Structure 1
């Protein structure tokens, strides 16, 4: 009557779990997860490239590109974020170009470069929360990822 493992059911459960967690985390955590996703995807792409796994490399790079383009770039508040938002936007744009080139040229050094760009940004973002930089902020600002990020 019931299958021990149903891929469709597992996929639906996973999707619901992700959607539910998206509503329960604050915007700072969300941006942190996006940074982690970029770093994880770049690491997967580097590993796939080293193994000669073309499909794995392409999928991982595509995921990193989508996270940067659809998540991080759209979260920037370019009007009120000032110079920080402009600088982050420029880094994101540069990283996108490097990821595309790394994919086309099969160049692990370009992937490493993107990783080295995102590691200190992600670390600094996480340190902001740990060090209480956001604790004195207006709680309504925490609901605006663009205010926190740039």
Structure 2
């Protein structure tokens, strides 16, 4: 019990002290985690567990959509992508379809990995050519 309480406090402190970029990465990691849990639950025929995890993934996508900064051109493209992902999650939840969840998981992982690379580039702009080469 004490260990769990300490972990919860650590987690809360991490969130409170995180930069906006780190919070976004945490959300992407949460999205990936909940979709993976949803896939596992669907495959194990645990309907309620699948539903709850897919709903949590949907909530994260809706948060991304609500917080898009529309002054940037990329926001329109991200909004379309998030809308598609949200609709696919709803469909996956309705039909308990792990293949659809797998499709959305791939997109979520790509978004997370891209965000992580962008954070690295922002911290070390001189290493940009090296990181771009690694990404190829």
Q: What's the offset of the Cα at 1:101? A: 0.5
2:128 maps to: none
* Structure with the bigger percentage of helix: 2
Using the size of structure 1 for normalisation, the TM-score is 0.74
For residues 18-97 of structure 1, the aligned pairs below 5 Å read 18-70=11-63, 72-78=64-70, 80-82=71-73, 84-97=74-87
Q: What's the offset of the Cα at 1:12? A: 9.6
Cα distance in structure 2, aligned partners of 1:41 and 1:118: 11
CA contact (8 A) 2:89 2:104 kept: yes
Structure 2's unaligned 5+ residue stretches are: 126-136
| Higher RCO (CA < 8 A, seq sep 6+) | 1
Q: Max radius of gyration: which structure?
A: 1
Using the size of structure 2 for normalisation, the TM-score is 0.82
Structure 1's unaligned 5+ residue stretches are: 137-150
Cα distance in structure 2, aligned partners of 1:88 and 1:50: 30
Say whether 1:126 aligns with 2:116. yes
Superposition RMSD on alpha carbons, in Å?
2.1
